[in-house]
Amino acid sequence: MITAIYPGTFDPITLGHLDIIARAAKIFDRLIVSVVMNVEKTPLFDIEERVELIERVVSDYPNVEVTSSIELLADFVKQYENPVVIKGLRNHIDYEYETTMAVFNKKLNPELETFFITAKLEYTYVSSTAVRQLALYGADLSDYVPKIVEDEIQKKFLNGR
């Protein structure tokens, strides 16, 4: 049994993330979506809120679990049998960054393999950062995030974040 780990900040989870989850869930026996902290960003949703949102969005996928981690990815995956890491790639910038991170992770954990899934064309421009910026201006987010997430974003901005 192969366990795939899909790490990310998911702040918020987008339709692009969800597409990667759906595609990876078809390929791997078990998929762990791991919500991680990014100390370089001020989050819209705290880590517990992100985990809950993702759990709601992926509830139709029986082999997908959601968790959070503050560990190095190379260490976090050690708790799983036959782990692989999944990363989505939208463009050459993602490719350069993610291949560099894969090399670091491999150096820290020689058993760890990283699999890349390229974004579908309609999601190549979708990012959590862009969604947060659009939300600031009250833009329609329905092309970028699941309805559940859009509703929660609107609540955040109505309540002054």
- The CA-CA-CA angle for residues 72, 2, 89, to 5°, reads 60
Q: Looking at the whole model, is its pTM more than 0.75?
A: yes
Q: Tokens 């597409």 identify what position?
A: 19
User: According to DSSP H, which parts of the chain are helical?
Assistant: 15-27, 47-57, 73-76, 92-108, 128-136, 147-158
Looking at the annotation, which residues are catalytic? 17, 41, 90, 128
pLDDT digits (tens, 9 = 90+) for 35-79: 998 788 789 999 999 999 999 999 999 999 999 999 999 999 999
- pLDDT tens by residue, 26-43: 999 999 999 998 788 789
CA-nearest of 87, 81, 100, 82 to 23 is 87
Instruction: Give the right CATH number for 3-158 from 3.30.420.40, 3.40.50.1970, 3.30.465.10, 3.40.50.620.
Output: 3.40.50.620
pLDDT in tens, 77-92: 999 988 999 999 999 9
CA distance 36 to 39: 10
Find out whether 114 and 35 touch, Cβ atoms under 8 Å. Answer: no
What is the token pair recorded at 7? 């790490």
Contact indicator for 85, 115 with CB cutoff of 8 Å: yes
Q: How far is residue 69 from each of residues 15, 75, 144, measured CA to CA in Å?
A: 22, 10, 25
Residue 93's closest CA among 67, 124, 117?
124
